[in-house]
Amino acid sequence: MKIIITENQYKKLLEQQLDLFADEEEELPMSDESDEEEEEVIPIITYSNASHRPEFSKVYFNDAIGDIPTSGKVKLVNVRKPNSKRETEDDIIIDADKVGICKNSLFEAYCVEDYHPEVRGVKSFDDTYVKVISTIGPNIIKSKFQAVVFKSLKDIYGSDSNTWLNDKTRGPGGLGGVINIYTTGDFLLGKKLINTNGDGGEWSILNYFDTNPGVRESIMKMYSKQINSMEELDEFCNWVYKNRVELFTEGPKLKKFVKLNFGSFHNGFLNEDKAYKYVSDLISSNNNLSMSEINLPGSSLDRSGVDFAVTNKTKIKDKDRGVRKFQAKPLDGLSNDGNVYTINSWNVNDVEKKPVEYFIFTSHKKEGVVIFKNIKGGVKSTSKTVVFNYPPISPEELLKEL
């Protein structure tokens, strides 16, 4: 396998919020281990640089050349280091089954979960954002950034009812948000994605800038100063507010941030659409069951955590069983230890508190759909994992319950 990512592709990846970094186009030589005896040879994958992305809990190895063996060890060699044929601090020997391929519709890259000790010391070619995360902490950065972005947007758009909706059910703390500018409805419906509910479609993509890690990182890089303390973080936030018009009104910077968010929304909605079609196909032979449409981001139902629902007309008078609600989340992996099942996902904090009966995990990029019931006391979540103290429900069991 040979993977080369050019600078132009790197820019496109940033625009689509894909989990890769890239470097200049350069064909890399395979390392020569021909002098070693065959039984002692560890297969080699060369790479030009590594990108640690803490928000995705992964280290990406860019411009990688070499095949991942099916078993045993593999050596990852940084060919940009001097004397690359001998081991350096950036050479890694790791179990082959820990190295994966992260794919999207355009490119592939090798990746390793960042909790593996072998990759913790890998140097990134651009580690400014990583230093900020490790020095101050992600939660503090997120909360400060969210506050200044909301303040900036309200200052720009909040005085006009055509661009700001004061709705106590929307926005941080029920303070409302931007409408009718780069709307979620225009984008998703414009993509002709089916099964969508138009309610809430006026809600602007700008309202999601504050929580989007790609937007946050992009603005930090525009700032171009080191942030190594709380005082420097406050200076950064003051800079964002001072430059709010340039950052958050029509122009190249706003367009870049919008593209970053639309990429996320598109992928998220494709996952929801796949989940929707799976359940729709499952109930298609039962005339008593019907599907709602998918609730658009920004709608009241979506904000509560309900992506779609199934109605049983024979039970419609039973408020607890007549309508069964689903929340769809990305599926990045599944493992179990006995009857304890762990789902790897993202943006899944407090899912157990959502007013739904079922969680459906899937990815439009790969095969597989997993459904769990939402049983009180049996679910624990973090930002990237959901742990269930019981097994997933089978399609046959789900159909009987609906």
pLDDT in tens, 10-59: 445 444 433 433 333 334 344 344 444 444 578 888 776 777 766 567 78
Is the distance from CB of 169 to CB of 200 less than 8 angstroms?
no
**Closest CA relative to residue 18, chosen from 260, 191, 216, 258:** 260
Residue 18 to residue 274: CA distance in whole angstroms: 20
Joined together, the tokens standing for residue 199 give: 């309610």
What percent of the chain shows pLDDT beyond 90?
A: 27
Mean pLDDT: which of 66-70, 239-243, 330-334 is highest? 239-243
For the ranges 145-149, 153-157, 347-351, 359-363, the lowest mean pLDDT is seen at 347-351
Which residues on adjacent β-strands are paired with residue 311? 290, 323
pLDDT in tens, 296-316: 776 667 777 888 999 998 887
Written as one string, the DSSP assignment of 289-331 is EEE-PEEPTTSHHHHHT--EEEEETTSTT-TTTSEEEEEEEE-
pLDDT in tens, 216-244: 878 888 887 777 788 888 999 999 999 99
Residue 228 to residue 40: CA distance in whole angstroms: 45
Pairing status of strand 196-197 against strand 294-295? parallel
The predicted pLDDT at position 31 comes to 38
Asked if the model's pLDDT at residue 327 lies above 60, the reply is yes
Written as one string, the DSSP assignment of 75-121 is EEEETTSTTTTS--TT-EEEEGGG-EEEE-SS-EEEEEETTSGGGTT
**Helices 230-242 and 128-136, interaxial angle, to 10°?**
120
Confidence category of residue 378, pLDDT binned at 50, 70, 90: very high
Q: 366 or 255: which carries more pLDDT confidence?
A: 255
Is the distance from CB of 165 to CB of 176 less than 8 angstroms?
yes
The predicted pLDDT at position 372 comes to 96
Backbone angle region of 220, left / alpha / beta, with phi > 0 → left and psi within -120 to 50 → alpha = alpha
- The predicted model scores a pTM of 0.58
Residue 28 to residue 4: CA distance in whole angstroms: 9
**Cα dihedral 85→88→90→94 (10° resolution):** 80
Residue 363: count of CB within 10 angstroms of its CB = 19
Confidence category of residue 341, pLDDT binned at 50, 70, 90: very high
The predicted pLDDT at position 190 comes to 62
Joined together, the tokens standing for residue 251 give: 């122009």
